[in-house]
Amino acid sequence: MSRVFNWQLGREMDYPYEDARPAKQIAWVFDLNKCIACQTCSVACKMTWSSGRGQEYMFWNNVETKPYGGYPKAWDLTVLEKIGPGSWKDGVYEGKTIFEAADQRNEKMVGHRPGDEEWNHPNIGEDVIAGGEMPQGAHIVDETHPLWFFYMPRICNHCTHPACLAACPRRAIYKREEDGIVLIDQSRCRGYRECVKGCPYGKSLFRANHEVSEKCIGCYPKIEKGKQTQCVENCIGKIRGQGFVTDPKQGKPNPDNPIDFLVHVRKVALPLYPQFGTGPNVYYIPPIHTPTDFLEQMFGGGVQHAIDTYRNVPQDETLAGLLQLFGSSPEIMETFAVKKKVALGYNRDGKKVAAVPITEPPQLRKSFDRKRDAYRLDVT
C-alpha cells in the first residue's frame, strides 16, 4: 500500500501497490465532438493485434454510444454503483475511489468481472437516443440538447495508478519506465482474471482459448519509433491526438507540448471517470451539447470550463490550430506552434512533420475539368 498524490482528484489517495512513475507518460486526447462511430479505429486495432482465434469478441479499441452503450455491457454503471456517490469541490474529489471503496482485508479494489454475455454484444445500445421521444416538428433551441447521445471511443487508459497491475497476484503486469505503457507479460500470466476484475474500465480482457488475459499494448513498437498508434493514425474523424502528458507532481506542464496544452493549460480535455482513482491517461474533450450533469459524472468537476473553452475556439487561435493538427501526421508531435494562422507540429527530434492552416484558403476550380473530361457541380 502506498500513499500517492492523484492530481486528477486534487488530493492524495491510497494505492495498493508501489508508486512508480515513469520517465514519460503516454497520453491521448479524443475530441468527442467529432467522433462519427465509423469504427475505423476498432478495425485498425483489431486487424493489427487481435484477429486471432479466441479473440472474436476482443476489442482493445471499441466505440460505444453513450448513455446506453457499453462494452462490456454497463461497465461504468456497475463500478459507479460500487463506489457510491461523490462530488467535486474546488477541483477536489470528495468521494471514494475504487481502492478506497474496497474492503482492504478481502480485496484491493472494488471489482467487477463481466461475463461472456457482457462482452459478446460490443455494439449494444448503439445510436439509442436519451431524453425521451422525438415529437413531430421538434427542434433544438438551446445549446444543450434535450435529446442527445454521443460516441465514445475507448482504449486502455495506460493509467498512472493502474488497477489491473495492482490486482495481479503474479506481478505479470508492468508499467514501462520509458513511456508508461501498461503491459501484461504473456509468459507470466496464468489467466487468473484478477486484472479483468480489477480494471474499472473493462480494458483487460480474457482470451479463453489461451487462458491468458490480454489488453491494449499502446502499439508500443510504433511508439518506440515515434509513430502514433494505429487507432490514432487511422481515425477518419481526426478526433485523436497523441503524445506525452506531464504529471504536475513531477514537473511543470510545457505549453508547447500539445497534450499538456490541452490538459493542463487550456484544461479542455478531461480524464474519463477520474473518480475511479486510477489516473487514466486518455483525455476527452466533452461533447458540448450533452447535459452537463451527465458529463460531470463522467469527466469530473472541470466540465463546464472545458465546454466554455471549446465554444471559444474561434477566438482562440492556438487552440484552434492545435485541434487542426489532430490526424495530420503519422508521427507523434511532441511540440507544436501556431504561427501566422498555420499550425506546425514537430516530432521528437524537433523536425517539422505537419503544417496545417487554421482556415483552408478557398480553391476555385473550373466547372469543366479538361483532364477528366467531366463537369463539376461543386466548384469550391
Three-state secondary structure string covering 45-89: HHHHHCCCCCCCCCCCCEEEEECCCCCCCCHHHHHHHHHCCCEEE
Shortest spacing between CB 201 and ligand SF4, in angstroms: 4
Cβ-proximal residues to 301 (8 Å cutoff; 6+ apart), any chain: 88, 89, 91, 93
350 is a site residue for another protein (CB under 8 A): no
Exposed, middle or buried by CB within 10 Å (0-12, 13-18, 19+), for 339? Answer: exposed
Please identify which residue in 171, 249, 339, 341 interacts with another protein, judged by CB under 8 A.
171
Please identify which residue in 21, 121, 210, 267 interacts with another protein, judged by CB under 8 A.
210
Shortest spacing between CB 210 and another protein, in angstroms: 6
144 is a site residue for another protein (CB under 8 A): no
Q: Which residues pair with 130 in a beta bridge?
A: 148
In the bound state with ligand SF4, the residue whose beta carbon lies nearer, of 108 and 158, is: 158
Q: Which residues bind ligand SF4 (CB under 6 A)?
A: 35-41, 63, 151, 153, 156-159, 162-164, 182, 199, 201, 203-204, 215, 235-237, 239, 278
The C-alpha atoms of residue 213 and residue 374 are separated, in whole angstroms, by 55
89 is a site residue for another protein (CB under 8 A): no
In the bound state with ligand SF4, the residue whose beta carbon lies nearer, of 60 and 346, is: 60
Q: Which residues pair with 344 in a beta bridge?
A: 337, 355
The length of the chain, given as a count of residues = 380
Cα 57 to Cα 29, 68, 208, 230, 246, distances in angstroms: 25, 19, 11, 19, 34
Which grid coordinates belong to 186? Answer: 504473456
In the bound state with another protein, the residue whose beta carbon lies nearer, of 47 and 128, is: 47
The C-alpha atoms of residue 329 and residue 227 are separated, in whole angstroms, by 9
In the bound state with ligand SF4, the residue whose beta carbon lies nearer, of 194 and 331, is: 194
In the bound state with another protein, the residue whose beta carbon lies nearer, of 19 and 178, is: 19
Shortest spacing between CB 30 and ligand SF4, in angstroms: 7
Handedness of CA 270, 275, 281, 284 (dihedral sign): negative
Strand, helix or coil at 44?
helix
Interface characters, 270-309, with another protein (x: CB under 8 A):
----------------------------------------
Other C-beta atoms closer than 10 Å to the C-beta of 375 total 10
Which grid coordinates belong to 198? Answer: 480489477
The cell 461523490 sits on which residue?
Answer: 86
Q: Considering only the stretches 48-56, 300-308, 338-346, 358-366, report the one whose residues sit in contact with another protein under the rule CB under 8 A.
A: 48-56
In the region spanning residues 211 to 250, those forming contacts with another protein, defined by CB under 8 A, are 211-212
| Phi-psi map region of 281: left, alpha, beta (phi>0 left; psi -120 to 50 alpha) | alpha
Q: What is residue 331's DSSP assignment?
A: B
In the bound state with ligand SF4, the residue whose beta carbon lies nearer, of 64 and 260, is: 64
Q: Considering only the stretches 101-109, 155-163, 272-280, 328-336, report the one whose residues sit in contact with another protein under the rule CB under 8 A.
A: 101-109
Shortest spacing between CB 307 and another protein, in angstroms: 38
Shortest spacing between CB 63 and another protein, in angstroms: 20
310, 302 in Cβ contact below 8 A? no
Please identify which residue in 107, 296, 316, 317 interacts with another protein, judged by CB under 8 A.
107
In the bound state with another protein, the residue whose beta carbon lies nearer, of 206 and 346, is: 206
185, 174 in Cβ contact below 8 A? yes
Shortest spacing between CB 137 and ligand SF4, in angstroms: 31
Q: Considering only the stretches 131-139, 204-212, 219-227, 257-265, report the one whose residues sit in contact with another protein under the rule CB under 8 A.
A: 204-212
Please identify which residue in 73, 145, 193, 264 interacts with another protein, judged by CB under 8 A.
193
Which grid coordinates belong to 34? Answer: 467529432
113 is a site residue for another protein (CB under 8 A): yes
Shortest spacing between CB 321 and ligand SF4, in angstroms: 20
The cell 471503496 sits on which residue?
Answer: 101
- Give contact residues for another protein (rule: CB under 8 A): 1, 51-54, 56-57, 106-108, 113-116, 119, 169-171, 188, 190-194, 196, 205-206, 208-212
